């Protein structure tokens, strides 16, 4: 069953739940609907929770005739794909989501059921009208911060709170493609979480399949990772994206880390036989006659079930033995 907006909000907010893993297809479909569908299949096979696209109009983003326009215009996703891909994701059992880059894109997603969550891309954190329009959908929002200061994050969060109070997670990322390891600074997530009291995540632009699991160990509730069918394909985002086998390994590593994180209560997790093997107690080091006043030279500590714990040694010293015991015998309170 596909997660809806409420399911996603609960999943992201609850540290006891698995993190929400997004396969960022972005523009790596290379304007081929068939490739887009193949990439959704890859995300499903890897165990991702969502497949994400980008909906932009280069003419609305950058000046006409600029270098950026020349790069972005060929990568625009045809907007009539949205209902097709929403349906394909529904049938494949994965959440469809997208980053809208203009108000019309938000409306398009709402109209075709493609907005169980909304991702605000890093440069758009400054676009408060876009954030405000997305917040009016009152679905979970992910706000990426690669181009942001702490003040920018605060302003964006305030905008959402004032508009609708939609649930928000803030994603740490580095807007370098690819991001070198020394520039990643995963600890920024913990700072963001502490400053703003929000769930945090990691939008990873490095070439590593390991960093997302490290981010989860640090508390990331959302992981976003660019994917590709082949890093050798043409396009600006293929070279740092994960290929299918690495994506599957990444998700598996995340789930292993989550399984190992466990709980914060420190207590034995094994059966009685293991407790007995790991218990230590006070024993006689030498033969001790009845009526003897005990001192440290007469006693030792060994692994043995029952008896008196070493933490109580000071309560034993100076006491008088009621009975005689041979060497290497467990000392119990009723002997004193």
CA distances from 109 to 23, 58, 99, 301 (A): 18, 18, 10, 69
Q: Is residue 266 assigned to a domain? A: no
Residues 97 and 132 in one domain: yes
Residues 81 and 220 in one domain: yes
Residues 257 and 281 in one domain: no
Check residue 276 and give its pLDDT: 55
Residues 245 and 323 in one domain: no
Residues 24 and 81 in one domain: yes
Residues 213 and 305 in one domain: no
- CATH number for the domain spanning 310: value is 3.90.1210.10
d(CA 224, CA 52): 9
Q: Which of 261, 288, 317 is the last residue of a domain?
A: 261
Q: Which of 222, 241, 261 is the last residue of a domain?
A: 261
Residues 230 and 286 in one domain: no
Contact 283, 299 (CB under 8 A): yes
Q: Is the peptide bond before 171 cis (omega within 30 degrees of 0)?
A: no
**What's the structural domain count of the chain?**
2
Residues 252 and 285 in one domain: no
Task: Return per-residue pLDDT of the chain as tens, 336 residues.
Answer: 789 999 999 999 999 999 999 999 999 999 999 999 999 999 999 999 999 999 999 999 899 989 989 988 999 999 999 999 999 999 999 999 999 999 999 999 999 999 999 999 999 999 999 999 999 999 999 999 988 999 999 999 999 999 999 999 999 999 878 888 889 899 999 999 999 999 999 999 998 899 999 999 999 999 999 999 999 998 888 999 999 999 999 999 999 999 999 777 766 655 555 555 668 899 999 999 999 999 999 999 998 888 899 999 999 999 999 999 999 999 999 999
Check residue 277 and give its pLDDT: 61
Residues 215 and 315 in one domain: no
Q: Which of 227, 261, 295 is the last residue of a domain?
A: 261
Q: Is residue 19 assigned to a domain? A: yes
Structural domain boundaries enclosing 281: 272-335
């Amino acid at each position: 069953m596909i997660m809806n907006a409420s399911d996603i909000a609960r999943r992201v907010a609850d540290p006891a739940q698995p993190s929400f893993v997004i396969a960022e297809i972005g523009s790596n479909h290379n304007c081929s609907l068939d490739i887009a569908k193949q990439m959704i299949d890859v995300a499903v096979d890897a165990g991702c929770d969502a497949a994400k696209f980008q909906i932009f109009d280069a003419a609305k983003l950058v000046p006409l005739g600029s270098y950026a326009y020349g790069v972005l215009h060929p990568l625009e996703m045809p907007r009539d794909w949205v209902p097709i891909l929403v349906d394909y994701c529904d049938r494949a059992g994965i959440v469809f989501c997208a980053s809208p880059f203009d108000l019309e894109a938000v409306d398009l997603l709402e109209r075709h059921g493609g907005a169980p969550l909304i991702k605000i891309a890093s440069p758009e954190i400054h676009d408060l009208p876009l954030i405000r329009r997305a917040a009016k959908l009152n679905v979970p929002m992910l706000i990426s911060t690669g181009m942001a200061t702490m003040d920018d994050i605060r302003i964006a969060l305030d905008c959402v709170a004032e508009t609708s109070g939609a649930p928000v997670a803030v994603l740490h990322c580095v807007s370098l493609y690819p991001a070198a390891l020394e520039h990643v600074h995963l600890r920024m997530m913990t700072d963001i979480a502490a400053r703003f009291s929000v769930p945090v995540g990691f939008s990873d632009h490095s070439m590593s399949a390991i960093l997302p699991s490290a981010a989860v160990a640090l508390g990331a509730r959302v992981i976003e990772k660019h994917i590709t069918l082949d890093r050798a394909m043409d396009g600006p985002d293929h070279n740092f994206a994960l290929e299918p086998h690495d994506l599957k390994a990444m998700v598996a590593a995340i789930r292993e880390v989550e399984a190992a994180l466990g709980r914060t209560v420190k207590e034995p997790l094994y059966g009685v036989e293991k407790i007995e093997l790991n218990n230590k107690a006070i024993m006689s080091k030498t033969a001790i006659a009845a009526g003897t006043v005990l001192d440290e030279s007469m006693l030792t500590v060994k692994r043995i079930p029952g008896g008196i714990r070493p933490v109580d040694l000071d309560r034993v010293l100076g006491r008088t033995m009621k009975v005689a015991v041979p060497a290497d015998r467990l000392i119990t309170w009723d002997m004193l």
